[in-house]
Structures are given as C-alpha cells and as structure tokens.
Chains A and B, each alone.
Chain A
C-alpha cells in the first residue's frame, strides 16, 4: 500500500514538476518586468509635496503612497498607461515630471525659450539705443 502511494506521488511530481517550474519562472520574470517598468515609471511622476523631485527621489508620505499604489496596480496587471491616466485624473498634467507635448502644455515646453527670446529682444533694443 505504502509502495503504491509512493508510485502515485512520484507520478504526480513527474507530471506536474515542469508546470510548477514554468510557473515559478513566469512569476520571477513578471517580477523582473515590473521592477524595470516600475523603476522607469516612478522617475516620470512628480512628487506633489516636493514638486522639484520625482517620486523616485522623494521620501514625502504622498510620494511613498504613490509608489506603493503604482506597484500594487502593476502587480494587479494594470498597464503603465492606465496608471498614468489614474494619476493625471486625480492630480492633473502637473503630476507628470515631463508633461506630454500637447497644445495645452505648449507654454510649458516653449515658454522658457520664448521668455529668453523676449529678454534678448529687450537687450538688443537697449544696445541699439546706446
């Protein structure tokens, strides 16, 4: 009886071990994918408490909460786009450290260059008067 049970046990191990190993590999791979995606993504998100930092660098409680929530959503299978959309819906475009180049964000991208241009024109006008 005991020998039969051992045979059955070995049979099941023989049959299912490859699947178990494959499952384990998949799990590890998923974690690795998350790790890279997660580390890249948190560098895109602005800390709302310390706006000159990304949440990757900030230790503010809101930044910690954001990091945990991002990881939780990634582990639940949510895409980066969906998580980004969630954060923008609650915090607006300013939550993105580099806002997307869209019509409404054009002043953010070209504003500094425009101001530099205006400054240059003023300087040029003053120099010509002299």
Chain B
C-alpha cells in the first residue's frame, strides 16, 4: 500500500459528532494548539480490530492525544467494541457519510495522520500501524 510520510498539507476542516454524545460536536479548531493523532477506523474493518491492541500500547507508552474517526459505522457497535477491548482514544468522532474521509483522500481503513499544533498534516500512513512503527516514525515528530 502507498505510504505518505512527512508531508505538510493543511488538515481539512471538520465538524463531527462525538460518539455516543448527542449534540456534542468537535471541530478542527477545537483540537488545534497541540499535536494530535487522527486515526480513521471502523468496527467492521478486520485490520482495524487486529490493530486495536497496538493503539492501547501506544496510549500507554506515549503521552499523545489520539482522536479516532469512526468511518461509516454503527456507533452502538463501535461503543460496545471499545467497552469490551478498551478505549485508547481521547475522543471518538463519527464520520457517518465518510465526507471527512474524502477530504483527507482516504483510500480505506485503517489510516493514521499526525496533525501538528497549526492544523497541518505531518505524517500519513495507509494500513496497520504498530507501536514500534509509531515509536520510529511518529514519536520523533511529536
């Protein structure tokens, strides 16, 4: 799969609902000010489920804000999965129609982006990310 690393491109603006919270929306402006990881996943995606433990390890080892984007998924199913397997995310946002995915040029799930404090994309990975890849490729950019 194609990997795009160390790129600089503005993160598209978004207004997304928080998972399980009615009328609670998060925008890119709310998250600007410090770097954060934007992780696009879905509970129907096998590779995402396989990757889930890696995100728990990443959260334990690195003091980083991980914002998850739930891509075209049933919120209740994802909530149940997070309850069962653990929730490493600072917040989970719902991209029901997949519009943010299109703005990001998403090819599939999972995909991971590192957004800097200015709101620019500094790193992009297509496919599964492990804690060791995170340590080598993402942590130095934080």
Contact = CB atoms under 8 A, between A and B. Distances in A.
B5 interface: no
B108 A65 contact: no
Contacts of B97: 65, 68-69
A66 B102 contact: yes
Interface in A32-90: 48-49, 60-62, 64-66, 68-69, 87, 90
B82 interface: no
A66 B72 CA distance: 12
A64 B105 contact: no
B98 A90 contact: no
B34 to A, nearest CB: 26
Given A61-B42, A64-B72, A48 B101 contact: no
**Is chain A's interface secondary structure helix, strand, loop, or mixed overall?**
helix
A48 B72 contact: no
A11 interface: no
Contacts of B108: 48-49, 60-62
Nearest to A49: B108
A92 B106 CA distance: 12
Interface in A66-119: 66, 68-69, 87, 90-92
A62 B102 CA distance: 8
Nearest to A50: B108
Contacts of B107: 48-49, 62
A60 B98 CA distance: 12
Contacts of A87: 102
Contacts of B106: 48, 62
B13 interface: no
B98 A64 contact: yes
A91 B106 CA distance: 8
A90 B99 contact: no
Given A61-B108, A69-B98, A69-B102, 17 more contacts: A48-B105, A48-B107, A48-B108, A60-B108, A62-B98, A62-B101, A62-B108, A64-B72, A65-B72, A65-B97, A65-B99, A68-B97, A68-B98, A87-B102, A90-B103, A91-B105, A92-B105
Interface of B: 42, 71-72, 97-99, 101-109
Interface of A: 48-49, 60-62, 64-66, 68-69, 87, 90-92
Nearest 3 A/B pairs, CB to CB: A65-B98, A48-B107, A49-B108
